[in-house]
Structure 1
Amino acid sequence: MNSELQLSDLAQTDLSELDVVERYAHFAPVYDQSVHDWGYQSHRVAAEALRRHVAIDQPVLDAGCGTGLVGAALADLGYKDVTGMDVSPDMLRRAEEGGRYRKLLSWNMTRTPYPFADDAFAAATCIGVLSLITDPTPVLREFRRLVQPGGYLIFTQQEILYEQYGYEDILRGFEQRKELHRESISEPVAYLPNREGYEKRTLIYCIYRVIDD
């Protein structure tokens, strides 16, 4: 099976119709090299953003951790208490090989609640994952439960899906209910600038602070 073809298929097809675990099993071995070649930088951008808000001795959840790119970027900045979860056992095995996580868990992010206590983390990252989830509301609500008051959420979404999935209205709802405080929503930036056909695709970075009940 052509791993490059499968990676392309996964990125361009309605993912709700695919067996995501099976697809990731086929291209997990080439994932890191592929996204590197395509100019992917979101893991580093997110880690640097987190460092501006959260001390390196605090516990962090990396939701949808994949092969561990975010975990590696956080470790490079000095974070040692990072928990990763992902639906793909093959991607998790790659993350485990990297040795950057305190704990790794196989879990489907659409299944809530997640198996962590309230206020278990000082921050949660979800980078390059939410494009697979058409309704982010339950996920964001769960992040708010897991992250301590005053802690931070950092997540990304492709600009086209940010609009298609109604993110602005959803996020405004969290803000109006005084559940999350908007720290920043970035201007759209390059997503995979070196990938053919993706030169004009853009990504939005969202940073929110959890508000106490």
Structure 2
Amino acid sequence: MYDKDMETDGYTGPGKVANVLAESQGDRRDIRVLDVAAGTGLCGEELSKLDFCNVDALDASQDMLDVAKTKNVYKNFIKEFLGSNRLGIDDDSYDAVIGSGLFATGHVKSDCLEQLIRIVKPGGAICLAIRENRLQTNEGCKDLESRMAALQSEGLWQQVSREIFPAYSSGDDGVVYLYTVL
């Protein structure tokens, strides 16, 4: 049902972040990727189409993870809430993190960024997408870009690109960010 709703809304975020990540990577088969706020696995499906074979899913909802399991695109499933809390994932565990839709109202807030940086290896990539209007309307994300800039000033990561793209969902534009962890 959720996937059908997203399809009806014209949700293109998962395909966009998967393509941006793919363009930044070499041989994708061995790259270890974590799909954060993976939900039902829409990003995982897009990554699979692009030859990413070593992808894990993280989500706070077991019901969503159960749906994601049926898609056979993930190796491991991690049921944890993504926030300022320390995730039960070792430092430098992943080559990349990907996420789309995680910053929706009532979901993940910008205070998760430090955790994402911590679990990605130096030189690894973090690729995230958000509906552009959420940057002004979502209480948990109004400071997203200033927080991203502060983490860059602290020398934790470097922005590679920030791209506004049309038709993220329901006709609204999206923004996709690509960062390299330092």
Match of 1:83 in 2: 56
Moved more, 141-150 or 128-137: 128-137
Counterpart residue identity of residue 143, structure 1? L
Q: What's the offset of the Cα at 1:111?
A: 5.8
Alpha-carbon deviation of 1:77?
1.1
Pick from 146, 151, 167 the counterpart of residue 169 of structure 1.
Answer: 146
Q: CA deviation at 1:124?
A: 0.2
Q: 1:134 to 1:38 in 2, by over 3 A?
A: closer
Hey, what does 2:75 align to over in structure 1?
Answer: 102
Deviations 1:61-94 (A, max 9, x none): 0011111111111111111111101111111111
Instruction: Please give the alpha-carbon distance, in whole angstroms, between the structure 2 residues aligned to 1:168 and 1:117.
Output: 26
Normalised TM-score (structure 1): 0.77
For 1:78 and 1:152, the matched residues in 2 are separated by 17
Instruction: Tell me which amino acid in the other structure corresponds to 1:118.
Output: D
Q: Does 1:146 align with 2:83?
A: no
2:58/2:78 contact within 8 Å kept: yes
Identity of matched residues, %: 24
What is the CA deviation profile of residues 22-75 of structure 1, one whole-angstrom value per residue up to 9, with x for unaligned ones?
xxxxxxxx0111111221111111111111122311100001111111111111
Counterpart contact for 1:60–1:123, Cα < 8 Å: yes
Alignment partner for residue 204 of structure 1, among 164, 175, 178?
175
Return the offset for 1:191.
2.3
The structure with the largest helix share of the pair is 1
Query: TM (normalized to structure 2)?
Result: 0.89
Q: Give 3-state SS (helix, strand or coil) of 1:187's partner.
A: strand
1:79-125 Cα distance to aligned partner (Å, 9 max, x none): 11111011111111110011110001111112621111110000001
Structure with more strand by fraction? 2
Contact 2:83 2:108 in 1 (8 A): no
Give the total of aligned pairs.
Answer: 175
Deviations along 1:129-149, one digit per CA (max 9) or x if unpaired, are 122357413x11001110011
Q: Which amino acid aligns with 1:77?
A: L
Gaps of 5+ in 1: 1-29, 194-198
Structure-1 residue corresponding to 2:168: 191
Task: State the superposition RMSD in angstroms.
Answer: 1.6
**2:121 alignment partner AA:** Q
Structure 2: gaps spanning 5 or more residues: none
Q: Specify the structure having the higher radius of gyration (Cα).
A: 1
The answer to whether the 8 A contact 2:168-2:174 is kept is yes
**Offset of residue 168 of structure 1:** 2.5
